[in-house]
Amino acid sequence: MSRLFRMLGTTVAMVLVTLGAVGGTAAAGTTDSSGALALPTCTRTSWGIPATESGDADCLLGQGVSNPAVTELQYSLKECHGFSIATDGIYGPNTAAAVRSVQRSAGIAVDGVYGPSTRAAMLWRVNGCQF
């Protein structure tokens, strides 16, 4: 019986994250141009790039999220892309605007949500701001 409750809880949590009700992920319908609505929220960094707790870099960040993954994103936006934004770990309007600018420059869908397509388009501090 407890296994059933755990499975049900996991399913409910996945639905809530997908809809943006938990973890501060993007609202329903936002896809970071990758069509990846069901991706988890980035919570930490792996090799200097936002990642999940397991180290998977296929994850999302959007307005309202506050964690170390956001801080790393902000550092790269500031140091590698030249944006004058705070590195406070809070994904607010200025971080979203910087992400939209990167997306626009890369020719990918512009939604202000960090995800796999945005990650691929960015320069990162970990590699000296090189591709």
Superfamily (CATH) of domain 44-127? PGBD-like superfamily/PGBD (1.10.101.10)
Any residues with CB less than 8 A from the CB of 122 and at least 6 apart, and which?
A: 76, 77, 80, 81, 102
Cα 101 to the chain's mean position, in Å?
Answer: 15
Q: Tell me the Ramachandran region of residue 25: left when phi exceeds 0, alpha when psi lies from -120 to 50, beta otherwise.
A: beta
The pLDDT value given to residue 7: 32
pTM value is: 0.73
Tell me what pLDDT residue 4 has: 33
Domain ranges of the chain: 44-127
Nearest alpha-carbon partner for 116 in 53, 20, 42: 42
Q: Which residues contact 46 (CB under 8 A, 6 or more apart)?
A: 55, 56, 57
When pLDDT is averaged across residues 9-15 and rounded to a whole number, the result is 31
Q: Which amino acid is at 41?
A: T
| Residue 58 tokens, joined | 């296929």
Which pairs with CB-CB distance under 8 Å and at least 24 residues apart come from 11-16? 14/38
Name the one residue in this structure whose structure tokens are 């309202």.
64
CA distance 27 to 119: 19
pLDDT at position 95 is: 98
Weakest-pLDDT range from 17-21, 26-30, 80-84, 102-106: 17-21
The rounded mean pLDDT for the chain is 80
Which residues, at least 6 apart from 130, have a Cβ–Cβ distance to it below 8 Å?
123
Confidence of residue 98 (pLDDT cuts 50, 70, 90): very high
pLDDT on residue 74: 98
pLDDT in tens, 18-73: 333 333 333 333 445 445 568 999 999 999 999 999 999 999 999 999 999 999 99
